[in-house]
C-alpha cells in the first residue's frame, strides 16, 4: 500500500495523479519545481521499479517537462532522483532560468527557503493541473 512520505507531503501541494506518479508542487517560490512520486510501496531506487514502471516514469517526467516548458519557457530543465534525506523514491523536475536564485548551481541548499504566500501555491498547482490535463489530452 503506497503512502506519501510525510516530509514530501509537508513541503508540497498536490497537483495531479498520473498513471504511475502523484505530482506535487514544492512550496519554494524561487523555481517552478515539481516532484513526481511513483505510487508504489517500499520504493527507494529506480531499481526497485519494474521495467514497465520505469518506462512509465520517464514518460511522466517528459510530460512534466512539457508542462513546465508550456507554462514557464525555462532555459533549462533539471531532473533528479536523490533521496538522501527522504528515501521514498521521488523525482524533482525543475524549471531553471539563466540568472535565477541558484543559477548555474543546482537548487538544493542554494538559498534560504522562500515560500509561496498563502493560497498562491494552491493557485499555481491548479494552473499546473489544467496544463497536465491539456497535455495528456493532446499527447494521449
The footprint of its own copies (CB under 8 A) covers 44-47, 51, 54-55, 57-59, 61-62, 65-66, 69, 76-85, 87, 96, 103-106, 108-109
C-alpha cell at 103: 543559477
d(CA 49, CA 70): 29
Q: Cell 531506487 maps to which residue?
A: 45
Question: Which bin fits 111, alpha (ψ -120 to 50), beta or left (φ > 0)?
Answer: beta
Q: What is the DSSP letter of 4?
A: -
Q: How far is the CB of 34 from its own copies (least distance, A)?
A: 14
CB closer to its own copies out of 76 and 127: 76
CB closer to its own copies out of 19 and 82: 82
Q: How far is the CB of 133 from its own copies (least distance, A)?
A: 19
CB closer to its own copies out of 15 and 107: 107
Backbone angles phi, psi at 116, to 5 degrees: -60, 145
Q: How far is the CB of 91 from its own copies (least distance, A)?
A: 9
CB closer to its own copies out of 61 and 121: 61
In this structure, are residues 95 and 32 in contact, taking their beta carbons and an 8 Å threshold?
Answer: yes
Amino acid at each position: 500500500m503506497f503512502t506519501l512520505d510525510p516530509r514530501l507531503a509537508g513541503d508540497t501541494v498536490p497537483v495531479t495523479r498520473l498513471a504511475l506518479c502523484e505530482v506535487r508542487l514544492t512550496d519554494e517560490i524561487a523555481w517552478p519545481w515539481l516532484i513526481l512520486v511513483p505510487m508504489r510501496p517500499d520504493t527507494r531506487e529506480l531499481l526497485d521499479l519494474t521495467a514497465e514502471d520505469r518506462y512509465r516514469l520517464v514518460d511522466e517526467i517528459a510530460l512534466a517537462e512539457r508542462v513546465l516548458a508550456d507554462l514557464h519557457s525555462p532555459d533549462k530543465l533539471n531532473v533528479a532522483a536523490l533521496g538522501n534525506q527522504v528515501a521514498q523514491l521521488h523525482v524533482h523536475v525543475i524549471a531553471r532560468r539563466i540568472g535565477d536564485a541558484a543559477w548555474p548551481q543546482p537548487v538544493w541548499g542554494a538559498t534560504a527557503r522562500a515560500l509561496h504566500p498563502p493560497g498562491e501555491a494552491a493557485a499555481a498547482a491548479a494552473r499546473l493541473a489544467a496544463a497536465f490535463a491539456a497535455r495528456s489530452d493532446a499527447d494521449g
